[in-house]
Amino acid sequence: MRAQKASLDPLTRATVTIAWVICLNKPFYPIYVWYLVGHGVSTSLGSLLAAPAYLAIPFLARRSPIAARAALPLVGAFDTLFETQLFGQASGTELFFGACIMLVAVSFRADEKWIQRGLAVVVFAVFFLSRHSGGPPYYGWSGADLAALSNLNIFAVACLMAFIAMRYAGIAIRAGPTNGNNL
């Protein structure tokens, strides 16, 4: 396992780390909901549905590092869309789109800019869909419940983005060809 991990490039290793951290934190979200809100826990179990997709990213990285690096923000965006439908827009779950865009910004080399740009457009489109397709949440959260969920999600997004920044810090990214056409 260590030899396979060592063979991954630094950006892919960082992606795998983030995927593991998200996957391992998923089971705690319903516990936080139970502790902070006291009800709606069965609804919050829906947040676990994306865990297998995050778990697949480290295995995908062995076969296609670039696919794994692209998968993480995509899985995150669709997970965020689902959780926004589950908890409602007032819960603050849409803030996770910021972490998805951050992953797009830091996960690619200069010569992969078209993949990066395409993913930025896709993540933004999923965000736009989230903003304009939202109905009522699946559970009838009260205003106080939504405030507690919003505080939880604000804190969780800040923690995730700080972890992403620390994990990707100092990774030397090989520059792509510089033929003057870097748009």
- Over residues 54-107, the pLDDT tens digits come to 999 999 999 999 999 999 999 999 999 999 999 999 999 999 999 999 999 999
Residue 182 counted as domain residue? no
Q: Does 90 reside within a domain?
A: yes
- Which pair of tokens denotes residue 55? 């778990």
Q: Which two tokens stand for residue 136?
A: 């009522």
Residue 183 lies in a domain: no
Read off the pLDDT band of 1 (50, 70, 90).
very low
Rounded Cα gap, residues 176 and 96, in angstroms:
29
Q: Is 173 within the bounds of a domain?
A: no
Cβ proximity of 93 and 40 under 8 Å: no
Alpha helices in the chain (DSSP H): 2-7, 10-25, 28-36, 41-44, 51-63, 65-87, 96-106, 113-132, 143-168
In total, how many domains does the chain have?
A: 1
Per-residue pLDDT, 174: 60
The model's pTM is 0.88
Q: Is residue 79 part of a domain?
A: yes
pLDDT value, residue 173 = 67
CA separation, residue 34 to residues 41, 68, 104, 152 (Å): 6, 33, 32, 12
Residue 26: give the domain boundaries: 2-168
> Does 20 reside within a domain?
yes
Determine, yes or no, domain membership for 126. Answer: yes
